[in-house]
Chain A
């Protein structure tokens, strides 16, 4: 999972083109997300990185149609999911098709497991219920499968734990149950929306290890949404960095950390404190100035412009840059990308 070697060409599990999400607010329509394009193959992990307000979570919700529908919100573009040799566009398919796909072929795990699990049912019942609904196993067989799944996600004494209620478990345990629930019907795509953010570091390490392990065994495609660059380096094959609603850089994970090109990505990587005791210790961290713009008032041109050290008046504030390939598999949305590349070459 973490190796950066190119994988053999396989049909993408998910192909997203020109995804755009608009919310109708009292202050007028707000384009929360635009220009999202990516694809993800079997056994691959795509990390979507961004801060709050970058649109990363909204993107994940839109892919499974979990956003409020019209008139509050409008989703356009294409989200093609391959399953059982067919392709379904999750933006336009019927509500019945969507229900049959959700939890069966594509699942989602959220940040806060306590609010996503039903507090009045036991862990085992909730998993078995999903299996019965989608696959049609009998009650007993579904419960046996649920216990197997709890075992798979590393819950000790799964038979006893299957009879526990969510509030009787620790945060790490609940997140394992959520993952078991997501994997219950052997989906081809798992969307994990900040699955480790609410957990302690040692528990986070456990969950990440678990997800890698499951992926190695089932060839699952994972979309991992996070704000933590350390986690990205750990889990991802490909990375998509989002800022103010649109992707600003996509690259294989090694490239992104070796050679980040978009000034936002560069700033983000530099501003994360690392364990180091070299001369830079105690020195100010290179911080990105300013704050994330409100989606109601995006700056003209490049939305990162006002916070950018490379900002060039007349170019960057003139028109919105496009996401363009700069190197193989490495796309960047920046007017000044060429200049940045040259300067990097000199260094």
Chain B
């Protein structure tokens, strides 16, 4: 096996929160807190978590849109977490991003051609105008839009079409890694499938590596090779997709799987309902951060922060209880 494309080693991103007293130091919001993850070449790795889990911050950190508090990011063998803008610039063409809200991610005052030509002007300044236009037409066709759309403006498009334009902007520089931050959650249900299909098709055709950030486990099950589950700024379980659904090893994963509403009357399962809300990332619980909501918590859980340990082939979990028999989302017959 070759080296992974990306390695996130023990990364943390802390934000200053609000001040509790006039002269006291501000609180620390631990959005990402000691997270390690690797993304292999050509795979779709999904990062799943609820709001406040820090999953979007991981994406931003990897894009170097936010600085790390600690840890390192290794991209294709280079440690990039301390690179300045000038050194980052040539790498940017290799790491691209698709945003959640297709209405906010396109400049309303720029035509599609302007938006799509911008990456080329930055990274391939030697191209002639005609060459740029050709590339724009090509990429529009790649994402399933007519090249005639180049002269139009974002407000003339529907949400699904805009998301295709966003995808085209990300892919026009032929990146190696695509960070997709909830790319379909703002779209209409009947349009979501179109965009998922497009992502999958392009991933296979272009050999992309994708970090897919999502809160929707059904979508994730459809497209991922591996899945990482995040809770309060840490990864609590990583596994090949099928293994995660068939044999989850962390109680939080079990709860997440059980909470997915499935559009199927036969697949009704007994729900496991978690108590309470996600604790504040300002002062997360000691030891295992999930223990306050975990139905299987024992006294030892408060002692130390559990590390990610092997729990099967390619399967890691951060839970000290090895004796649990957690219910899967899938039984062997499905």
A and B from one complex: yes
Binding site for B on A (CB under 8 A): 2, 4, 51-52, 156, 170, 172-173, 200-206, 208-209, 227-234, 253-254, 257-258, 267-269, 271-278, 281-282, 284-289, 291-292
Query: Which residue of the partner chain, among A170, A205, A277, A288, contacts B190 with CB atoms under 8 Å?
Result: A288
Q: Is the interface of B mostly helix, strand, loop or mixed?
A: helix
Query: Which residue of the partner chain, among B222, B255, B261, B330, contacts A230 with CB atoms under 8 Å?
Result: B261
Number of interface residues of B (CB under 8 A): 50
Query: Which residue of the partner chain, among B50, B223, B263, contacts A202 with CB atoms under 8 Å?
Result: B50
For residue A273, which residues in chain B have a CB less than 8 angstroms away from its CB? 193, 196, 218-219, 221-223
B189 touches A (CB below 8 Å): yes
Complex Cα distance A246/B64, Å? 47
The reply to whether A272 and B259 contact each other, CB–CB distance below 8 Å, is no
Binding site for A on B (CB under 8 A): 50-51, 158-161, 188-194, 196-197, 200-201, 215-219, 221-223, 241-242, 245-246, 255-265, 268, 271, 273-274, 276-278, 329-330, 334
Contacts A201-B215, A257-B263, A275-B260; A288 near B193 (Cβ below 8 A): yes
The reply to whether B261 and A272 contact each other, CB–CB distance below 8 Å, is no
What residue of chain B has the Cβ atom nearest to residue A169's Cβ? Answer: B277
29 inter-chain pairs at a CB distance below 8 angstroms, sorted by A residue, are A2-B268, A51-B188, A51-B189, A170-B278, A172-B277, A200-B51, A201-B216, A201-B259, A202-B256, A203-B50, A203-B277, A204-B261, A205-B274, A208-B261, A209-B273, A227-B188, A230-B218, A257-B264, A271-B192, A271-B193, A272-B189, A273-B218, A273-B223, A274-B262, A276-B330, A277-B221, A277-B242, A285-B196, A291-B188
What residue of chain A has the Cβ atom nearest to residue B158's Cβ? Answer: A291
The reply to whether A275 and B245 contact each other, CB–CB distance below 8 Å, is yes
The reply to whether B201 and A281 contact each other, CB–CB distance below 8 Å, is no
What residue of chain B has the Cβ atom nearest to residue A201's Cβ? Answer: B259
Complex Cα distance A206/B256, Å? 12
For residue A229, which residues in chain B have a CB less than 8 angstroms away from its CB? 189, 263
Complex Cα distance A285/B334, Å? 18
B18 to chain A, nearest CB (A): 13
Q: What 6 A-B pairs are tightest by C-beta distance, nearest first?
A: A230-B261, A271-B193, A287-B193, A229-B263, A200-B50, A205-B259
A263 to chain B, nearest CB (A): 12
Complex Cα distance A170/B51, Å? 11
The reply to whether A275 and B201 contact each other, CB–CB distance below 8 Å, is no
Complex Cα distance A234/B269, Å? 10
Complex Cα distance A277/B257, Å? 15
Q: Which of A2, A201, A228, A254 gathers most chain B CB within 10 Å? A: A201
Contacts A201-B215, A201-B256, A232-B263; A292 near B188 (Cβ below 8 A): yes
What residue of chain A has the Cβ atom nearest to residue B293's Cβ? Answer: A202
A245 to chain B, nearest CB (A): 15
Complex Cα distance A272/B161, Å? 19
The reply to whether B222 and A228 contact each other, CB–CB distance below 8 Å, is no
B331 to chain A, nearest CB (A): 11
The reply to whether B263 and A274 contact each other, CB–CB distance below 8 Å, is yes
Complex Cα distance A119/B160, Å? 35
What residue of chain B has the Cβ atom nearest to residue A226's Cβ? Answer: B261
What residue of chain B has the Cβ atom nearest to residue A232's Cβ? Answer: B263
The reply to whether A228 and B261 contact each other, CB–CB distance below 8 Å, is yes
Q: Which of B189, B258, B276 gathers most chain A CB within 10 Å? A: B189
The reply to whether A267 and B190 contact each other, CB–CB distance below 8 Å, is yes
For residue A267, which residues in chain B have a CB less than 8 angstroms away from its CB? 190
For residue A257, which residues in chain B have a CB less than 8 angstroms away from its CB? 263-265
Q: Which of B159, B241, B257, B277 gathers most chain A CB within 10 Å? A: B277
Complex Cα distance A273/B201, Å? 16
The reply to whether A205 and B271 contact each other, CB–CB distance below 8 Å, is yes
For residue B329, which residues in chain A have a CB less than 8 angstroms away from its CB? 275
What residue of chain A has the Cβ atom nearest to residue B272's Cβ? Answer: A205
Query: Which residue of the partner chain, among A51, A173, A269, contacts B277 with CB atoms under 8 Å?
Result: A173
Complex Cα distance A4/B265, Å? 10
B258 to chain A, nearest CB (A): 8
B179 to chain A, nearest CB (A): 20
What residue of chain B has the Cβ atom nearest to residue A274's Cβ? Answer: B218
What residue of chain A has the Cβ atom nearest to residue B196's Cβ? Answer: A285
For residue B158, which residues in chain A have a CB less than 8 angstroms away from its CB? 291-292
